[in-house]
């Protein structure tokens, strides 16, 4: 069992023990994931980009906690939707290679539709 | 190398080949992650919870794509911050066991601060 | 002066007195707005739609506070970008009339691109 | 009737004509608002703060459109929750004066809990 699968199984058991499947619809889990993404964002909202590259230890620890929340809801959402996040991510990486050819995208932050 | 580490290395090479490290500050990556979380949310905004549990194939495929984007930015963000998302998630799971004791949290969606 | 203009001027004075213009770039204000939208979302994440239509007084008060934060950052962002939110909203309403003709959109939550 | 009240009434009529009240629960409207906040954020994700202060005309126009969407959903949400956004915003401004005293907050982006 991979690390992600282990987390998935622990989350499933966690929810089952608390009878939380009733709350864990994909709709609600996508909301929870977005809420946590917002909390992660809060860490950075008044920092410069440079500051965000050199976070003090306590800010880094707080950001790690929010990253963990995002990942846990993502895993739980995938489980409830019956999709494998690793497969989806690998498929997307291949698509991105085609969307962002090196020669056009180098040093350029434009969206692929504008390259 | 685990699947997540493989994705991390591919993303690192992808960014390096395009000279994108200049754009990939933790601040910007947290924004990008939040944008993708919003796109994932869009899939579900007008669906009932019941509908979100039984997605038509094309909606499920679109949601998978957004899930992949969230995961890829999460991995890239962790790489740029120097944190291990699996370690962070496992630490959080342990904390959640303490915050949400089974006897208090069963069938209850309240936040731990209100249990 | 309209109510929105009054809020705009108070926010401008508030920021000036604290020397906060340096932090109030449109980029940062859009992040702050998104963070507050996430906090508003948190209010509803585990509620059913029916429950969200009949909020207990204390939940309604908390949601009002988050709504206020979103509105304040929106006004401040518009001021920093030099745009008038009322003009923009009226323009969008006209566009939406064309995108969602009554006969096609009635009782239908599909996006205009799929009508 | 103020400009906001006029927008509120137009949105109410717009939704009624399309039989959309069934979709416009506070839960769903808070999701839609968050989705639009994410689209607004997308405008800025790869820009520097300096660039975000001097947007090209077409980017500014796109950002105005997203601002309009956020405002329209905010007004609609307030209508469905029975709250007045101007009253809520004014109340919050008073609270912020107390939370961020000028002498402590000047030139400082820390959250009030850390001042």
pLDDT digit string (tens) for C42-101? 999 999 999 999 999 999 999 999 999 999 999 999 999 999 999 999 999 999 999 999
Q: Enumerate neighbours of D (3 or more CB pairs within 8 A).
A: A, B, C
Q: Assign B30 a pLDDT band (cuts: 50, 70, 90).
A: very high
Kindly report the number of other CB atoms within 10 A of residue A21's CB atom: 12
The pLDDT score that the predictor gives to residue C115 is: 85
Write out chain A residues lying below 8 Å of C44, CB-based: 31
Residue B109 burial (10 A CB sphere; 0-12, 13-18, 19+): middle
Q: Do B46 and D23 touch (CB under 8 A)?
A: yes
CA–CA distance, A51 with A45 (Å, rounded to integer)? 11
Write out chain A residues lying below 8 Å of D38, CB-based: 34
- Which of D28, D86, D100 is nearest residue C18 as measured by Cβ atoms? D100
Q: Do B34 and D28 touch (CB under 8 A)?
A: no
* CA-based nearest residue in chain A for residue D32: A31
Question: Looking at residues D4-24, what average pLDDT do you find?
Answer: 97
> Alpha-carbon dihedral of residues B58, C96, B33, B31, nearest 10 degrees?
170
pLDDT exceeds cutoff 90 at B115: no
The pLDDT score that the predictor gives to residue A106 is: 93
pTM of the model: 0.97
pLDDT exceeds cutoff 90 at A113: no
The ipTM (two decimal places) reads 0.96
* CA-based nearest residue in chain D for residue B49: D28
The pLDDT score that the predictor gives to residue A66 is: 98
Write out chain B residues lying below 8 Å of C46, CB-based: 109
CA–CA distance, A24 with B107 (Å, rounded to integer)? 11
Is the Cβ–Cβ distance between D47 and B25 less than 8 Å? Answer: no
The pLDDT score that the predictor gives to residue D67 is: 98
Give the residue with greater pLDDT, C110 vs A69. A69
CA–CA distance, A45 with D41 (Å, rounded to integer)? 12
CA–CA distance, C32 with B27 (Å, rounded to integer)? 12
CATH classification code of A3-83: 1.10.287.1080
* CA-based nearest residue in chain B for residue C47: B109
User: Which residue is listed with tokens 């416009």?
Assistant: D24
Question: What is the 3 state secondary structure string of C15-54?
Answer: HHHCCCCCCCCHHHHHHHHHHHHHHHHHHHCCCCHHHHHC
Write out chain B residues lying below 8 Å of A47, CB-based: 27
Taking only the tens place, the pLDDT of each residue in D34-72 is 999 999 999 999 999 999 999 999 999 999 999 999 999
pLDDT exceeds cutoff 90 at B91: yes
Taking only the tens place, the pLDDT of each residue in A7-32 is 999 999 999 999 999 999 999 999 99
Residues 46-75 on D with a CB inside 8 Å of A are 46, 48-49
Could you tell me where in chain C the CATH 1.10.287.1080 domains are found? 3-83
d(CA D62, nearest CA chain B) in Å = 16
Write out chain B residues lying below 8 Å of C40, CB-based: none
pLDDT exceeds cutoff 90 at A114: no
Instruction: Give the orientation angle of helix D85-99 with respect to helix C57-81, to 10 degrees.
Output: 80
pLDDT exceeds cutoff 90 at C113: no
Residue C113: CA count within 13 A, CB half-sphere: 0
Residues 7-46 on C with a CB inside 8 Å of B are 31, 34, 38, 46
Give B97's contacts (C-beta < 8 A, 6+ positions apart): A14
Q: Assign A115 a pLDDT band (cuts: 50, 70, 90).
A: confident
- The pair of structure tokens assigned to A68 is 């963990």
| pLDDT above 90 coverage of chain D, percent | 94
Taking only the tens place, the pLDDT of each residue in B1-29 is 999 999 999 999 999 999 999 999 999 99
């Amino acid at each position: 069992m991979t690390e992600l699968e282990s987390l998935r199984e622990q989350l499933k058991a966690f929810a089952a023990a608390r009878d939380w499947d009733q709350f864990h619809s994909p709709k609600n889990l996508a909301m929870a994931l977005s809420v946590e993404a917002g909390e992660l964002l809060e860490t950075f909202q008044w920092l410069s980009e440079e500051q965000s590259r050199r976070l003090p230890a306590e800010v880094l620890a707080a950001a790690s906690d929010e990253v963990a929340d995002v990942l846990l809801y993502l895993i739980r959402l995938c489980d409830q939707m019956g999709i494998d996040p690793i497969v989806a991510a690998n498929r997307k990486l291949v698509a991105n290679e085609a969307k962002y050819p090196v020669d056009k995208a180098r040093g350029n932050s434009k969206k692929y539709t504008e390259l």
